[in-house]
Every structure is written in structure tokens, then in C-alpha cells.
């Protein structure tokens, strides 16, 4: 599904180069750019958007299954439900195995990590919308694994197989599944021991043309399929980081994940923090408002901040209300909840949680023209029932690219700051 990727080298030298007076306690991890579902000619890649939506729905379907298993259904948001697997249309499923040659960047915010002793390196998607670590196993026989780096348990002196299995189902009928191990895991110098993860033996074909090898979840333990602490929680527990905080800058260049604090070189002013409702297992903030211009058009909803989702989603009725305030807007794809607006007069869109209004740039809200020369552009907010609750919105990269975002386990809060 994706074709070109540059492997990321973790720039630990940046830490050494810092002034002794202002030496930072955290670790910087440069990340690759995520594409915007826009074709090279500026048009909206409708098919890729449908695939991306199905992947998002199924990821959060798995999260709810995990939450029910780990905590109980009482932890669900009001109206949340475990939906049937979102099935990708047959005509698109067939195309997933075709290498795309027009892509210049990745669909994940990816960096390198190592697992085992001696270290085995992997290119990983860092995802605040899930809570497990998995990479392909040397025992994987799926054709999807052929282009991936694989974990070989027999080559590591620190791996230990545990009971149980790991499994997530995807919309093409395939799964990501495998046994459960503990291992030494290193992310840019942050090393933890006995980290639970899965070296998967089956890998969904939806990852076939994806440059990443695996995924590292950064949400709460409650939505872990493994039922164990995710990597960063283990790092906090073992004292491998000085603060239980990590920060993201996602942009067309200079993207970074910072572990053990926030990188104040990347933002100005203070960080505006908001408490998280931890019961759901997500980085979920309450009391949000969506603005078009200076007018709050939808109020009092919950928002999950998810670096593993490309765009933004809200309940269909709320998103319909939102676009009623966008001059010239129209339904573009009623089934998948996409709307269009006049390209020459993009709306000024922002979100607030009781403090500053955090604005989304016109470029980040625009997914591209409906067709070349149409003058109509597709908005990066879609009306889609993901299953997360009646009043829950999912804010992915289309929002996160406009702010510096801090995630604090120490204070159970998410914060935003102006990018430098």
C-alpha cells in the first residue's frame, strides 16, 4: 500500500551536542513524514482514504475488545460498541498487493528500535492510539513478512516465551497474530527489560507495501491485547526515563518523538494541559469545542488524540452540524462521511478544551480536490461511527500537525503548545 521509505537513524548525537547548561533529560527520535491522502496532482486519493478508515475502525474495534477483556464493558464510553470488522471493498482489497509508485513518503510516524541481545533492529510506527508492541517473527510464513525485518528468538539471550497469544483482525480477513514473549527493548537509548511483545507469525496483507516492520503502542495498559504494560509504562516503572512524559512534533519536516519530557526547542510558550479520562484506556480529553471561524459549532464532546490515525473523525450527526457552518460545503461520500468545500475559501477550523483555540491550517484541513480542476476540496474531518462512543471524536495527524503535543502519564493529561 505504500512504496518509498527512508530508514531513520536515531540521532543520539543531538543529545551530546546540547549545551551543558541546558542539557535535556529526554531522548529525541527523528520521525518520518506521513502523507496526507493527497495525490501528486493535488487530488484526493479516495481509495487510500477508504483503506485508511477501515484500518482505523478495526484498530479501535480491537482496542474495545481488549478494554472489555482487561477492565470490563463498564469502562466503555456511552454508546461505544464492538462493531463488526470493517470490510474493505473487494476491488480495493485486490489493489492492496500492488506496489504504488507515486508515493514520496510514509503513512506512519516511524523510527528505529531494537529488540533482544544482541540488538535486532526494526522500523516501527509509534502509535498513541494503541498499547502493544509487535514485530514480525522469523517463523512468519505470510508473504507479507518477506520484505520485513524479523525477530529471531534463538538469536537473543534475553528473550523468554510466555503463555498466551496476540491477535488483531483486519478488514481484508487477515490478521496480525503470534505468540507472547518478554525481551530487552531499546528505543533511542531508553532500554527496558522483560518488555511484553509479540513476534507475529501471521501478518495482515494490509501491511504488504507498508515500509514499517511493526508497531509500538503508547496508550494506556487498559487497551493492551497482551494485557501488560506498554513500552513507555515499563520505562517509567523501571526508571529508564526521568519523567513519565513524551512529546510529539508531526510536520512535513523535523518530526520528532521525545521520550522522558518535552523538547522545548520545538515549541514556544507554555504547554496547555488537559486532564485525561483514563478509564477508557485512551488519551481522551473531555469538554471539547469545534469552531468554524469564531463560532463554536459543536460543543461538549470528547476527543481521543491518536498519532496512528491520518485524519479526524466525529459522529456523523455532529460532523453534519459542523459542515452546515462551512460555506459552500457539500456531501462528497455519504457512505464514508467525507465532505467537500470550495478550495478557494477554506474554512478556519479550530478546537478548544476551555483554553486557547488550536487552529488547523488550511493546508492540513485540505485532503485535495475531488477531481482535477473541480474547485472542490475534501475536508480532513469525516463523519464516521468508529464505535468509540456517541460523543467521541478521533483527532489524528490532521490536528496534531498544527501543535506540539505532550502526553503525560505522570499527570494523566494531554497538552498542546504552539510550534516554534
The confidence score (pLDDT) of residue 129 equals: 95
Q: How many helices (H) and strands (E) does the chain have?
A: 7, 24
Beta-carbon count within 10 A of 23 CB: 9
| 3-class secondary structure, 7 | coil
The confidence score (pLDDT) of residue 85 equals: 87
The confidence score (pLDDT) of residue 103 equals: 27
The confidence score (pLDDT) of residue 9 equals: 30
Helix (H) / strand (E) element for 74: namely none
Spans of the chain, pLDDT less than 50: 1-22, 93-107
In sequence order, what E strands does 253-399 have? 256-259, 267-275, 284-292, 295-305, 312-314, 330-333, 338-342, 349-352, 357-360, 366-369, 376-379, 381-383, 392-395
The confidence score (pLDDT) of residue 13 equals: 29
| 3-class secondary structure, 65 | helix
The answer to whether 33 and 111 have CB atoms below 8 angstroms apart is no
Closest C-alpha among 283, 232, 221 to residue 260: 232
| Integer Cα distance of 246 and 59 in angstroms | 22
Residue with cell 520545538: 266
The confidence score (pLDDT) of residue 102 equals: 24
| Catalytic positions, written as ranges | 127, 306
Q: All 3 cell numbers of residue 139?
A: 517463523
Residue 158 CA from chain centroid, whole number = 29
**pTM here?**
0.89
| Phi-psi region at 48: left, alpha or beta (left = phi > 0; alpha = psi -120 to 50) | alpha
The confidence score (pLDDT) of residue 379 equals: 98
Amino acid at each position: 500500500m505504500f512504496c518509498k521509505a527512508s530508514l531513520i537513524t536515531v540521532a543520539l548525537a543531538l543529545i551530546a551536542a546540547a549545551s551543558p547548561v541546558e542539557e535535556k533529560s529526554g531522548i529525541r527520535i527523528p520521525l518520518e513524514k506521513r502523507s496526507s491522502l493527497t495525490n501528486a496532482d493535488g487530488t484526493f486519493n479516495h481509495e487510500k482514504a477508504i483503506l485508511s478508515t477501515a484500518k482505523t475502525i478495526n484498530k479501535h474495534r480491537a482496542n474495545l475488545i481488549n478494554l472489555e477483556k482487561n477492565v470490563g464493558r463498564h469502562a466503555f464510553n456511552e454508546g461505544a460498541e464492538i462493531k463488526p470488522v470493517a470490510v474493505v471493498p473487494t476491488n480495493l482489497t485486490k489493489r492492496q498487493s500492488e506496489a504504488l509508485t507515486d508515493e514520496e513518503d510514509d503513512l506512519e510516524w516511524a523510527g528505529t528500535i531494537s529488540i533482544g541481545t544482541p540488538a535486532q533492529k526494526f522500523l516501527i510506527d509509534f502509535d498513541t492510539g494503541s498499547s502493544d508492541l509487535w514485530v514480525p517473527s522469523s517463523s512468519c510464513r505470510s508473504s507479507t513478512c518477506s520484505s520485513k525485518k524479523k525477530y529471531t528468538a534463538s538469536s537473543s539471550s534475553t528473550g523468554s516465551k510466555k503463555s498466551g497469544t496476540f491477535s488483531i483482525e483486519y478488514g481484508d480477513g487477515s490478521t496480525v497474530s503470534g505468540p507472547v514473549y518478554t525481551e530487552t527493548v531499546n528505543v533511542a537509548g531508553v532500554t527496558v527489560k522483560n518488555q511484553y511483545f509479540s513476534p507475529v507469525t501471521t501478518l495482515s496483507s494490509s501491511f504488504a507495501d507498508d515500509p514499517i516492520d511493526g508497531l509500538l503502542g503508547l496508550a494506556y495498559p487498559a487497551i493492551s491485547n497482551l494485557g501488560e504494560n506498554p513500552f513507555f509504562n515499563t520505562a517509567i516503572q523501571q526508571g529508564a526515563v526521568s519523567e513519565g512524559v513524551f512529546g510529539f512534533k508531526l510536520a512535513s519536516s523535523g518530526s520528532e518523538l521525545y521520550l522522558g519530557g518535552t523538547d522545548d526547542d520545538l515549541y514556544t510558550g507554555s504547554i496547555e494541559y488537559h486532564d485525561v479520562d483514563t478509564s477508557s484506556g485512551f488519551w481522551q480529553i473531555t469538554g471539547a469545542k469545534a469552531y468554524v471561524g469564531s463560532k463554536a459549532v459543536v460543543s461538549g464532546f470528547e476527543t481521543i488524540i491518536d498519532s496512528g490515525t491520518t485524519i479526524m473523525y466525529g459522529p456523523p450527526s455532529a460532523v453534519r452540524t459542523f459542515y452546515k457552518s462551512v460555506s459552500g460545503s457539500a456531501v462528497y461520500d455519504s457512505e464514508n462521511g467525507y465532505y467537500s468545500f470550495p478550495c478557494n475559501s477554506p474554512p478556519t477550523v479550530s478546537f478548544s478544551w476551555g483554553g486557547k483555540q488550536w487552529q488547523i491550517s488550511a493546508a492540513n484541513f485540505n485532503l485535495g480536490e475531488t477531481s482535477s480542476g473541480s474547485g472542490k476540496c475534501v475536508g480532513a474531518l469525516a463523519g464516521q461511527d468508529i464505535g468509540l462512543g456517541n460523543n467521541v471524536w478521533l483527532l489524528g495527524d490532521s490536528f496534531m500537525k498544527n501543535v506540539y503535543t505532550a502526553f503525560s502519564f505522570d499527570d494523566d493529561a494531554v497538552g498542546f503548545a504552539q510550534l516554534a
